[in-house]
Structure 1
Amino acid sequence: MKSLLYKIPTSGKPAMLELNVMAKDYAKFGVRGYDPTKPFTVYFSREIEIKKPQQVFSFSLPVSPLTNLVVELKPIIGEQYQVRLQKKPLKKLSRKRFSFPKKLNGFIKHAIEFSTIAGFTPTGLYTNDQDQYPIYLQEQIIDAKGYPVDTPSRVNIETGEIIVKRDIFQSLSIPIRVNILLHEYMHHYHQTFDEAKADYHAQEIYLELGFPKYEAILAQGKIFWDSPEMIRRLQQTQKNILNYQE
């Protein structure tokens, strides 16, 4: 079935998209929002199921393309349906955004800016304008024994230097990149090796900035692996995200 494409003017401003779908029977779609001028620059990507005659889905965009966002709606199941897509103002960015400590605010800004270019920019060192908050974009992440590891990112807890693996970051949406970078930086900011603590603080900031819950849960799936401890951690993470009060 042919995909439907919608061009939404965004001008780099925060926005909320509402997708209203009316279907006679059960339907399933893939929905993706991306910058058509930049490769590997996806703002959201998910599957939605239509189980009622009419359902509304929201997609928050605390950051957006400088010109237009293209929304691709790809039918997977279902033939008889009607779709309406609307852009609305994002009601709030954050209750806490401007009360974050200066050091943390600086990293947040840098992490978001880096995440928007990480899909197409060359490998190398990326800092902010004051040469702070180093993020190394590399083809490989090497462990202490000299072996490559297949992980999205790593952090030096003492210095705060973050290394990210280019091919993995290319495959991720911008919100997931932001979530992962926040997680790594929380290890340094709070000087902790406690993964659950880093999860909690990263998710709190991520959600306060207005990024979508769905991508936050997807982000955890990218960094957890199959073990009883990791499954418990993932379950707690999902509970925290779903219980977040906007």
Structure 2
Amino acid sequence: MEPLIQELNQLSLYGMASRWQALVETREHHRLSLSEGLEVLLQAEAQQRTQRRFERLEKNARFRYKATIEELHMEASRGMNSSQIAELATGTYLRQGEAVLITGATGCGKSFLASALGHQACAQGMKVLYFNTQKLLIQTKMARLDGSYLKCFEKMAKTQLLILDDFGLTHLEKNAQIDLLEIIEDRHGRAATIIASQLPVGSWYEIIGEATIADAILDRLVHTSHRIELKGESMRKKL
């Protein structure tokens, strides 16, 4: 059976090779008809390819936390609505290009929740990018200086879920306002965006600064967004 396993590996059919080896070692292959054996091997290959794709998407996303939906503490006192989270977990907001706005005090679990939703999107085969907002805007500033900004903005526009964490820690400079508007405009109605912030949404206007730009950004984000306002003391303090 070794030549068959080698040939499967040469064809990059690693899931089939691994499953076939397991069938041979347990002598289960004798009990399967040709069609049954082929079905088992194809299922193994499909499962392994799905897993490899998920691992690749998760690595490229660079999440702040390795979090899952199952690990979330669904406590109403914390502002966690289990029905809302379950709806978001289905990925409908991803396909409809909607925004999710997560607000709350420092340490209340905003980044963990954003990471969990991103992890779920990767499990559904979606491309995800996770950024600290301030660091992202520094990157876009540098990209404009070195001439790579078109490539930079195109990459974000093609990403099915963009997560901007720690939004609003500082007031935005003029170039940062324009870059943020361009990012949001490229995604509006086409791709989903999650924004996590310590500040309530009502304070974002002041943080953005320029009235016209703030109006344009918030108009594209707020009206069709899913809002989650986390409450309670710091989870880090509890731990």
Of the two, which has the highest radius of gyration? 2
Shorter-chain TM-score: which interval? under 0.3
**Structure with the higher helix share, 1 or 2:** 2
Q: Which has the higher contact order (CA 8 A, sep 6+)?
A: 2
TM-score normalised by structure 1 residue count: 0.24
**Structure with the higher strand share, 1 or 2:** 1
